[in-house]
Structure 1
């Protein structure tokens, strides 16, 4: 069998979402608005939690870091997408492509395990309210947070080792709007079967297997406890504690699973871009809105912060 020419790729071409100038401008305006809302919502959530001492609890400790991950996640993908849409600058260097890819993996996996930690926190709050503050101590919360970041780093490191073994022969055109593992694997002339298997097993066992299983177990326990509550107001209060988180989990895992059950070769056809747009750009705008609009404590904290700011002005 003849050998194919293997070249050292210095850059890639991101095909983006569309070639139509009118659609590109419309998407640029939409994505810029979404990104601004994401930044304002995430930074606002972090500041509210930091400034209001009543929110210095385990639940909001995790939520502040979740907002930080939303901001970071969106910032890894959206700016380059906006540049692509506005200037038609489709080129991205080999190094920047792999940095973006591994940052994406790190943040996505970390967010998976942080969602699992938040589900565990809700479970303890509802199922064992008397022991909640003892179990969810500052040390325990920091351990869960550190573990989430550590597992995210491990997944990213394995992904980096696997992807560094790839060679590219015929084309450097990525049929996607950002550097994601499946379309890059589809582009490589290397036999990617073993690499895909390693990445899939590692990601599914840790991200989906462990974190998703942890979320499911927590919510089974929560649902069982809620069903035992006799009063309607008690059930409503218990459900409201975890409603925002449950909605965020459903959206995050639903779109991710829908996308990643597809084979990498499907990216040659430019499929699933809308699902990718949703879980890389849109969902991170929705998370701050979900946690703020459905959470009375956050809205009350915002009101208290605004009143404190008005107070000194009135004195002047």
Structure 2
């Protein structure tokens, strides 16, 4: 089995766009530039929407094993708005506790476009280091029971499901998995039997969970929308906070009000697009031998990220 197959559905596996970006940078920039840009790429700004959702996930995490009523949250929003980053931040920032094994308090999976129960169970078994994670139609029932028992023993309290909007396709097309069960049935079983909280993260269509599974929807109360930033004070505050967190490279240019507005125009306020553009500008500036980005670096970065014939037009070429 290939590395790609081994991690099918795991949330930490980079998507195709991210892999292409990483590969291209390895051939384009010097090791010095990469070293300068990596800390910038890892900056995380806890803006108000981010904090609200973190607080909601904290609540589900705390209560999921304490009460008989199931606990869950749905977070929907456009691609690049920070959903996957929030999942990674939550998991990496969990404090140690005697209530769960280290690294197993909150697990996360990324659904494929046509998810199956076998993929879901196999992905979770790999994450808990079960020695025989492969699942087929003959072993599914046994492996589901093994998974439930293992999650109980490890004290898992919360399961993140990224790309959860793929559950909509299963429902709309009335797709039954090859194993004879809906993925949503399995998620409900995990909530009820472990028990654990469920956090579904996905596209904007996911906001109406009743269209996925009415019984699953009844188990999840909290709904949040994570959107791209509009131009204005909230965006300016985010950019300033981002620039302040950059210790090894000067991003003060971005914090200027006019430049914050221009980078919003360049990225549409999308967090992934913003980080991609800024990181590219840092790579270019570092290879120029400076430690401060300028307009010329942003101009070149925009052309490299979007292409010189992008429909938006390069706002830094004005």
Task: Indicate the TM-score class for this superposition, using the shorter chain for normalisation.
Answer: under 0.3
**TM-score in terms of structure 2 length:** 0.27
Q: Which has the higher helix share?
A: 1
**Higher RCO (CA < 8 A, seq sep 6+):** 1
Q: Which has the higher strand share?
A: 2
